[in-house]
Every structure is written in C-alpha cells, then in structure tokens.
Amino acid sequence: MPAAEAGQGRPGIDSATQAILDAALVEFERHGFQRVALDDVARRAGVSRTTIYRRFANRDELVAAVIERENVVLFADIAAELKNAVKPADYYVEAFTQSILMFRRHRVLDRMITDEPALVLEMARHHHGAAIERMAEALRVIFPDGFADQIGVAAVNDLADTILRYAAMVLLLPSAEPLNTPDELRTFARRHFLPSLPVALRAVSV
C-alpha cells in the first residue's frame, strides 16, 4: 500500500484529522521527522495551524500519531502477506523476516530508522507496548487456526516482543554479516532469533 494512502478510509478519524495525517506523512517523507514545520503540514492539508493544535498538542504528538497509523497498516500488511503465502517452513522465521523486509519497504518508517535512530529509540520507549499489541494481532492472523489459543496469550505476546527486539537490532545496529536479502535474514533468524524464543514456543511446532 502506498504510504500516502495508508490511512484512507480508516474509521473513527474525521476528515480534517485524516488530511493532517496524510499531509504530515508526505512532509515527513520529504524533509524528515525533525525538520518538518507545522505550517507546511497545515498548508498541504488545507487547514489552519489552529486546527492541527486542536487535535495534536505539539509536533511530537503528530509524529506519534502518524507512526501509530502507519504501524497499524504495516502489521496488517505483514499478516496478510504471510496468511496468503505458501505455508512457510517456519512461521517464526518467516514472521521475523517479513517484518524487517516490509518495514524497509515503507519509505517513511525506513527513513526514520536511517536518518533519525535516536527518535526511533525515543518512540520505542513510549510506544513499545502498542507495537507488541499490533504484532501480536498480526501473529494471530498468521498462525494456523487454533494455534494462538494453544500456546496462550502470554506466549504470543512474548513472541511479538522478541520479534520486535530482534528486528530493531537488525534495523538499527551494524552487522558483521550481510542482512539484506530474505535468505540472509532467514539465516540470521535461525542462528540467533529462534534460540532466543521463550521455552513455551520452542517446545511447540507450528
């Protein structure tokens, strides 16, 4: 899904807020998160600065709202991609691999990782719980029917947390081995990610 279309038609968002989020996404892509002026967002959205401030107290709140919206779409896309794919050899490895690949394909989120890693860490500090919920929702869609219930809520959340932590490692930190292609990511996942999974997950095959 193109980034500028990511929030179209989402329920519970009024048209002005939708326009602000769409405009902010374009401005973030063009200028980066820290260099965007709210005047430019207002101009692109066709609203006043006052309209923005009625909905977002400051730029940080607007950034958080855009990232949350894009994450909702991203995790839903990850779930759909894996649900519709040929049954993978290992759901855990494939969920990890596709999460990284699809994050990298998102122009704005990938730029945030590349250009503003400090902002990524700051956002993670405040919004990691919400990201776990999004990933856990995606896993419930990906897993075969009944599997999530079999391993339990805590195990699904543990898996979501582990995927996000290892994905952040791959996305943010330099690596001694190449981690660019799907096969390179799968190899990394089998060598490092799988052994780190909670015991309850390693004991049950998908």
- With bands split at pLDDT 50, 70 and 90, how would you rate the model's confidence at 10? very low
Residue 198: which pLDDT band, with cuts at 50, 70 and 90?
A: confident
Higher pLDDT residue, 84 or 117? 117
pLDDT in tens, 138-176: 999 988 889 899 889 999 999 999 999 999 999 999 999
DSSP readout, 27-90? Answer: HHHHH-STT--HHHHHHHHT--HHHHHHH-SSHHHHHHHHHHHHHHHHHHHHHHHHHSSPPPS-
Contact 68, 131 (CB under 8 A): no
Stated pTM of the model: 0.81
What type of residue is 75? F
Q: What is the pLDDT of residues 81-99, one digit of tens each?
A: 888 877 777 888 998 999 9
Confidence of residue 5 (pLDDT cuts 50, 70, 90): very low
Residues of the chain with pLDDT > 70: what percent?
A: 92
Q: Could you tell me the CA-to-CA distances from 127 to 31, 67, 117, 121, 190 in Å, in that order?
A: 23, 10, 15, 10, 28
